[in-house]
Structure 1
Amino acid sequence: MSVVTEDHVVPGPHGAVPVRFHRPSEPTDAALVWAHGGAWVGGDLEMPESDWVARQLACRGVTVLTVDYRLAPLPDWMANGLASNLAPRPAQNHPYPVASQELTAVFRWATRAEPGLRWTLGGASAGGNLAAGAALRLRDEGDQADPGEADPGDEGAVQPVSLLLVYPVAHAELPPLTPELEDRARQHPELDEFRPEAVTAMNLNYVRDAERLADAYAFPGGHDLSALPPTFVLTSDLDLLRASGQAFGAELAAAGVDVLVVRENGARHGHLNVPDDPAAARSIERIANWLLSPLHRPR
């Protein structure tokens, strides 16, 4: 199946937001607004976690809209660490809530641009965080609308049919590691880049103000998750951030949300940014099957 790409700019609360449609030659009604990762400080529409993922899903019939959201500042201590494998990009200074608000605005725009599609909201790593926060924004703004007066043109009435979170950063502080994950960490010292203190520092760099770590839209983990749409949480086996994805999946289930949590065995954090990794191909198949499942159709 061939894929056609179209670049657009979408009006956003902080200026125009570049986006890219990936349209399959034989589309289904499944569609995805997708946010790349990069610790909120790196990444763009060209990185594999954005472009390659979108093309792979589009080849399977899913219309994908990728989002080039504004980035938080890149501190010196991260320049040669977490962001070292990301494409160079001019330094930006747009901490929370800029990217969260932009993803929310783009999702609303997408549902109006293609109203006949079943739109899922999703992202990887920091993008998974943004997707979860945007889903909470959309839920809360929808709750504020009068059900008797809401219509598809009402901004508050827009909701995703489902939520896709790939190795997400869902919590302001990394939840306690399970004994199994602690054992993984002892066997693989290279996983230390996502030790609790590193995650806290990364998250604080994103929000810039310690008080904002408690904001549910910034870090949904530990907050009210009721009434969110069906959610697929895909985690990486060799990844300490799996503690956040696993805990978030449990919190979703406790809140009454339909949730599927899958661990990609042998995979490392960010494996969707490495197309040659067999784990990336397996994850694409899992994601595509889930997006195309008839279970996603409105009941």
Structure 2
Amino acid sequence: MIEHRDAAPVRWYRPAPGDDGASGPTLLWLHGGGFFRGSPDQPEAHDVALSLAEHGVTVATAGYRLTPTPGPARMKSSARPLRGRFPDALDDVFAAYRDVLSASPSGVMIGGASAGACLAAAATLRAIDDDLRPAGAVFAYGFFHSTHPRTRERRQRSRGHRRITHSRWALNWMNRNYAGSAEALSDRLAFPGGHDLDAFPRTLVINAEHDNMRASGDMFAAELGAAGVDVRHHIQAGSRHAFLNRPSLDAFASAISLVAAWTLLDEHAR
């Protein structure tokens, strides 16, 4: 069941009445798109939320202000008409988090895909700072560092798939476009990777096997583990970046099942 709310950029997806999962935490889920494109209407948000609700998870999706489009190309988006740089998107996400939290007696987990995962991680840190710690976090093929890490496998991962747009220089350019300044680029609330993660809640990290952004996702999962966080790190075999935008893929169904099982897991039974 889907509910639209006019007071905030939040869309609710609820399990069928009587579903046991309806009493669990709400998952606030954020779409990706490199910070400059995408919306809650894309499959990575809408279809993900619908599928998770069918698995018994209460989901809320949120829009956020996008950055100016990098380069000369102009792209249309149904997310929000105004554009801006850090911390505009994070402010929007955190406002949505507070709204969802007020309507979720069993708590809220924060998650997202790609750039949405980065925003979800940053919102998690901000919530911790404000003593509004989430019940958990879920990240799908996200990137979390201001500069994308170098790896020996990078060229092999990008072979035949987005070699230009997902090259390391292009991804770093996208990060700089979002941050807007060198000072913001190093801010822990812009890119949480490499910063103190000790207070993070339990976290699920799902990375695509063939993805240049996996280097940051793998490193972030390792940083969470080193900080003593209860983290589960899963590599979706045979998948590429943004597989959640293609609901027909086996990887989509597999990831949905994993997220649903992990989200509804009773902490006291673990």
TM-score, length basis structure 1: 0.83
CA offset at residue 114 of structure 1? 2.2
Q: Do 1:36 and 1:49's aligned partners in 2 also have CA atoms closer than 8 Å?
A: yes
Structure 1 segments unaligned to the other structure (5+ residues)? 11-16, 143-157
RMSD of aligned Cα (Å): 2.0
Structure 2 segments unaligned to the other structure (5+ residues)? none
Aligned to 2:169: 197
Aligned to 1:108: 98
Q: One-letter code of the match for 1:6?
A: E
Aligned to 2:261: 289
Q: What percent identity do the matched residue pairs reach?
A: 38
Q: Do 2:65 and 2:80's aligned partners in 1 also have CA atoms closer than 8 Å?
A: no
Q: Where in structure 2 are the equivalents of 1:1-299 lying within 5 Å?
A: 4-10=1-7, 17-25=8-16, 26=19, 27-77=22-72, 79=74, 92-115=82-105, 117-142=106-131, 158-177=132-151, 179-185=152-158, 187-188=159-160, 190-294=162-266, 296-297=267-268
Aligned to 1:151: none
Q: One-letter code of the match for 1:20?
A: R
CA distance in 2: counterparts of 1:111 and 1:209, whole angstroms: 31
CA deviation string 1:99-142 (max 9, x = no partner): 11221121122111122x23111111111000000111111222
CA distance in 1: counterparts of 2:153 and 2:169, whole angstroms: 20
Q: Secondary structure at the match of 1:264?
A: strand
CA distance in 2: counterparts of 1:253 and 1:50, whole angstroms: 27
Q: Secondary structure at the match of 2:47?
A: helix
Q: Secondary structure at the match of 1:96?
A: coil
Q: One-letter code of the match for 1:138?
A: A
CA deviation string 1:31-89 (max 9, x = no partner): 2011110111111121101110000000011000000111111133564xxx7xx8666
Q: Would the alpha carbon gap of residues 298 and 130 (structure 1) be closer, same or farther in structure 2, given more than 3 Å must change?
A: farther
CA offset at residue 234 of structure 1? 0.6
Q: Do 1:222 and 1:251's aligned partners in 2 also have CA atoms closer than 8 Å?
A: yes
- Asked which structure has the greater CA Rg, the reply is 1
CA distance in 2: counterparts of 1:221 and 1:60, whole angstroms: 31
TM-score, length basis structure 2: 0.92
Q: One-letter code of the match for 1:24?
A: P
Q: One-letter code of the match for 2:238?
A: G
Q: One-letter code of the match for 2:56?
A: G
